[in-house]
Amino acid sequence: MNEQAETPLYLAVDGGGTKTKVLLVDAQGQTVGEGLSGPTSLTATSIGAASFNLNEAIRQAIERQPESGWRIRHAVMGLAGIDVPAEKQQAYKVFAEVTGRYPIDTFTLVNDIVIALESGTDSPNAVALISGTGSNCFGRNDQGQTAKTSGMGYILSDQGSGYAIGLAVLQNVVKSFDGRGESTILERLTLEHFRVQQVEDLKTAVYNPVLTKTEIAALSKLCEQAFEAKDEVASAIFDEAIDELFLLVSTVVTRLGITGKHVECVLAGSITDIEYIQDRLRQKLKTVCPQIRLVVPEHQPVHGGVKLALAAPTPASRL
């Protein structure tokens, strides 16, 4: 079958620090295949594991396609952890090898926050806020300018993220045990989580082997449980996270000069799903940007990648 008769398909990848989601769509945007695998963020896993996971997710997405008669005209890969040019170049080299195994004409590599933004709005003045395992914020204005905050990894940034909340849980458990801080039910919840009897045992659980960023971020669920039980320490941890998320967004809208305009703020990540955090964040943001509207997308961020893939020019740029 010649190339002109081949069915054009499009691929979108949402590669995070915990999992990778892939969608394969036809020219009308209808899903014809899906894939799900482990992390592909190079800041969350090894190069080998990231390559394996991407390959596995793409393989799942195309497994129902016939052996011939189709091609992927363009793929958009939104990956967590590509915040500086060096990271993007490294990721490009790694994933170009994977995509080269498949009939993919061209692909574009972007930060995952870009596809998160596209999944929730078409507004010219818009911001996306991700707070899941990590945190970052990206925005654009009607002049075509962009700005971002955070996204520099868990040592340099990630304030207001699941990781930051999880770390605060661990540290406040020790403070509670020592008597240096308020007593908190996070002590009991954390001991149960790690299946240990006393706080001293946490040292082995945490350091041998050292917990990963993802494992620490998972402890944010304990904070949510304690918050629902009206624990004051958990409430304080959440309030600090809200303050940090407010700074991420308010700084971006201020730098873009859109505080006096209608702005749509697309939310992504497990932390922004928490009702208390979402409500308080909305209240704080309206003090600096009265017309801001928080948007919880109907579709997953990977659909933002679909949108970009379908809109890509032909031939598309590879970077």
Q: What confidence score (pLDDT) does residue 4 get?
A: 56
Q: What confidence score (pLDDT) does residue 319 get?
A: 36
Whether residue 287 has pLDDT greater than 70: yes
Of how many residues is the chain composed?
A: 319
Can you list the domains of the chain with their CATH numbers?
A: 3-116+301-311 (3.30.420.40)
Comparison of pLDDT for 82 and 149, the residue scoring more = 149
CB 158 within 8 A of CB 170: no
Where is 107: in which H helix or E strand?
Answer: strand 104-111
Whether residue 1 has pLDDT greater than 90: no
Please give the average per-residue pLDDT across 66-72, as a whole number: 92
Considering the entire predicted model, what is its pTM? 0.87
* Amino acid, single-letter form, for residue 279: D
pLDDT digits (tens, 9 = 90+) for 241-265: 999 999 999 999 999 999 999 999 9
Rounded-to-integer distance, Cα 207 and Cα 305, Å? 38
Please give the average per-residue pLDDT across 200-220, as a whole number: 95
Where is 153: in which H helix or E strand?
Answer: helix 153-156
Rounded-to-integer distance, Cα 33 and Cα 98, Å? 18
pLDDT digits (tens, 9 = 90+) for 89-114: 999 988 999 999 999 999 999 999 99
Q: Is 278 exposed, middle or buried (0-12, 13-18, 19+ CB in 10 A)?
A: middle
Confidence of residue 302 (pLDDT cuts 50, 70, 90): very high
> Which residues share a beta bridge with 39?
none
